[in-house]
């Protein structure tokens, strides 16, 4: 069945280092969404990418959607302790109006 795989599962960085998480789908996606879940919190929508090769930035966060629309990445430049949390990608499942989520990447930042 359709799968969305995310790597790495965990990433520990020193504050100020960069961080990247990767998302790969077994099928072509019409769009991809990214969410952040702070420890003890709920997932919060960050962004949606729709176009092949699209790149969007939110301050220190850069989101990319692959040319084939089967992969995506989230890059954080110069991490801060406020970036701690789990980052999820999610793509539409069989075009049925529901999402399939990746397993998430848990980011910890050491001050």
Partner 1 sequence: DADVTQTPRNRITKTGKRIMLECSQTKGHDRMYWYRQDPGLGLRLIYYSFDVKDINKGEISDGYSVSRQAQAKFSLSLESAIPNQTALYFCATSGRTGGFGPQHFGDGTRLSIL
Residue range at the interface with partner 1 (CB under 8 A); choices 19-27, 51-59, 66-74, 91-99: 91-99
Q: How far is the CB of 77 from partner 1 (least distance, A)?
A: 24
Q: How far is the CB of 2 from partner 1 (least distance, A)?
A: 10
- Three-class SS state of 16: coil
**Cβ(105)–Cβ(21) under 8 Å?**
yes
Paired sense of beta strands 55-58 and 71-76, if any: unpaired
Q: Contacts with partner 1 in 5-64 (CB under 8 A)?
A: 6, 9, 30-31, 33, 35, 41-45, 48
**∠ Cα 106 110 111 (to 5°):** 140
Contact between 78 and partner 1 (CB under 8 A)? no
Give residues in contact with partner 1 (CB under 8 A). 6, 9, 30-31, 33, 35, 41-45, 48, 88, 90, 92-93, 96-104
């Amino acid at each position: 069945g359709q799968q969305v795989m995310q790597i790495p599962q965990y990433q520990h960085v020193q504050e100020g280092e960069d961080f990247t998480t990767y998302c790969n789908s077994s099928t072509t996606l019409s769009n991809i969404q990214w969410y952040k879940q702070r420890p003890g919190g709920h997932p919060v929508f960050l962004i949606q990418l729709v176009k092949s090769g699209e790149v969007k930035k939110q301050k220190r966060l850069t989101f990319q959607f692959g040319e084939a629309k089967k992969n995506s990445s989230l890059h954080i430049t110069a991490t801060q302790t406020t970036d701690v949390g789990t980052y999820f990608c999610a793509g539409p499942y069989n075009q049925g109006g529901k999402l399939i989520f990746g397993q998430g990447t848990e980011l910890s930042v050491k001050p």
